[in-house]
Structure 1
Amino acid sequence: MNLDAEIALAHRLAEAARAEILPLFRSGLDSEAKDDATPVTLADRQAEAAMRKLIEAEFSADSIFGEEYGLKEGKSGRQWVLDPIDGTTAFLAGRPIFGTLIALVVEGFPVLGVIDQPVLGERWLGVAGQKTRFNGKIVTARACPQLGKATIATTGPHYFTVEQGDKFMALAGQTDHKRMVMGGDCYNYACLASGQIDIVAEAGLKLHDFAALVPVVEGAGGVMSDWRGEPLHAESTGEVLALGDPARLEDVVEVLQ
């Protein structure tokens, strides 16, 4: 599958989102609560609108699904999945650990993903069948010889149900939990792809939250799945695992089940 044109567009999408986000970072921007009580800002909306405009101009037959403006139907069987600011809470707090997520999904499975951190000027690109690149240079997730030496991360306990929280804490208890990372949203997965984190476990994620992450993590030699160890796709339930070392997947799934 030749995705050269799509990769070039993905970079332009990230640049367009940066242009909308950066002037509003740490600007005292107000937010509104969406129906699910999560915050949304003008930066979220303007960044997604800018990306949608570019996609519609270059791949008008493709579907677009974005967190802020929902679904635009297409005719190609392909879908661009956008999260303009994954980690709006961090954005509002002035913490540069949020990111713009851009994915191309074909037949339900992500084949291209970008994690872009505009403030730090950091960009991870993952493409099916290719090695993940961070600002143009190949990166690799690290080996994890045993679960007890793993660094685990999650965005926050409030995203878990009681049952999910119990399972996560059981897993965390098997890891080097004194180094557990709380907070980070998509940035945790980027750090995993670059070899700084071993496991990310989350729940309640939607397609726009995880589609871009899959090619980035897997292109770095890691693996992503649901909590049962099944591959992620458009119909996945939102329980998401990322591991830098696929050899630990069976261990992690055993604890979670």
Structure 2
Amino acid sequence: MMLVRNDHAAHAVRVSEIASETAREYFRGRLGIEFKADESPVTQADKAVEAKVREYLQEHFPDHGIVGEEHGVQGGDRREMWIIDPIDGTRSFLSGHPLFGFLLGHLVDGIADLGVVAMPALNEVFLGVQGQGATLNGESISVSEKTQLEQAILYVNEGDKLHRDHPIVFDRLMQSGQTRRFAYDCYPHALLAAGHVDAVIDYDLQPYDFLPVSALVQAAGGIMTDWDGKPLNLSSDGKVISAATPELHTQMLQLVHG
């Protein structure tokens, strides 16, 4: 697998700036909201952000494919692709909650080698590049060294869905970690990449939700897989675990499988 080029990283950061500027124009304003077939909301902002990102990528990388949440797949047979979640956390966005993100990943043969997690309302940009490490606003970051789950800061994403669909796993989670927090979307994984959180369990995600984030977590020295410990790709089932260390990752896998 080729290492991502430095100009890809520079372009990715520029794209995140454009996306963040566009999202802020709509945030806490009057939004036109629709609901998709799965009842998840989509706003005018989602569509506007993705349109601007696609325009930029098509101009600078005309030979690359694009996968976006709102506008689908373009050039799906290309070896190199970009994957976009224009607003990760639309429910947060439309309720004025600042912990929504913008996600961008660069894929080679379906595997993410670059990931951006931008937090427009917080003016934070996390960047992870395979073989080159991870940064937050240009400053180097890395995961924690925590190895014991009972001493870990554990974030449980999509807790309501986990409780509904996997109540036994949910009960185990409620007895795990030194500190537990409920959350949604990309930010807990970004906090893990920066060393503030030790483990995150997530559920019911799409590739545009987890592939950009996985590149960031792994570039920061962490591990992000599905619940069976398999690497993430476009065909993964949307159940994911992020962990700062191999030891924590093993304990999280044991937790979900009993």
Shift of the 23–225 alpha-carbon distance from structure 1 to 2, 3 Å rule, reads same
Identify the match of residue 12 of structure 1 among 14, 27, 33.
14
Residues 206-243 of structure 1: per-residue CA shift (max 9 Å, x gap): 10000111121111111001111111111111110001
1:183 aligned residue: 183
3-state SS of the aligned residue for 1:153?
strand
Question: Where does structure 1 lack aligned partners over 5 or more consecutive residues?
Answer: none
1:157/1:165 contact within 8 Å kept: no
Question: How far 1:41 sits from its partner (Å)?
Answer: 0.5
Alignment of 1:22-33 (within 5 A): 22-33=24-35
3-state SS of the aligned residue for 1:26?
coil
Question: How far 1:35 sits from its partner (Å)?
Answer: 1.1
1:228 aligned residue: 228
Question: How far 1:158 sits from its partner (Å)?
Answer: 3.0
1:168/1:201 contact within 8 Å kept: no
2:245 aligned residue: 245
Q: Percent identity?
A: 34
3-state SS of the aligned residue for 1:65?
strand
Q: Which amino acid aligns with 1:103?
A: G
1:128 aligned residue: 130
Shift of the 184–51 alpha-carbon distance from structure 1 to 2, 3 Å rule, reads same
1:61/1:74 contact within 8 Å kept: no
1:198 aligned residue: 198
- How far apart in 1 are the matches of 2:159 and 2:139? 34
Give the RMSD, CA atoms, in angstroms: 1.5
2:4/2:113 contact within 8 Å kept: no
- How far apart in 2 are the matches of 1:63 and 1:166? 40
Alignment of 1:155-166 (within 5 A): 155-160=157-162, 162-166=164-168
For normalisation by structure 2, the TM-score amounts to: 0.94
Shift of the 143–166 alpha-carbon distance from structure 1 to 2, 3 Å rule, reads same
Alignment of 1:39-118 (within 5 A): 39-74=41-76, 76-118=78-120
Moved more, 37-46 or 25-34: 25-34
Question: How far 1:198 sits from its partner (Å)?
Answer: 1.1
Aligned residues: 255
Question: How far 1:74 sits from its partner (Å)?
Answer: 4.9
3-state SS of the aligned residue for 1:196?
coil
Question: How far 1:174 sits from its partner (Å)?
Answer: 2.3
- How far apart in 2 are the matches of 1:201 and 1:228? 12
Moved more, 167-176 or 240-249: 167-176
1:164/1:203 contact within 8 Å kept: no
Question: How far 1:182 sits from its partner (Å)?
Answer: 1.4
Shift of the 246–138 alpha-carbon distance from structure 1 to 2, 3 Å rule, reads same
2:66/2:83 contact within 8 Å kept: yes
- How far apart in 1 are the matches of 2:4 and 2:112? 14
- How far apart in 2 are the matches of 1:161 and 1:79? 35
Shift of the 165–13 alpha-carbon distance from structure 1 to 2, 3 Å rule, reads farther
Residues 6-53 of structure 1: per-residue CA shift (max 9 Å, x gap): 112111211111121111111132311111111111111000000000
Moved more, 97-106 or 6-15: 6-15
Moved more, 181-190 or 116-125: 181-190
- How far apart in 1 are the matches of 2:135 and 2:36? 34
For normalisation by structure 1, the TM-score amounts to: 0.94
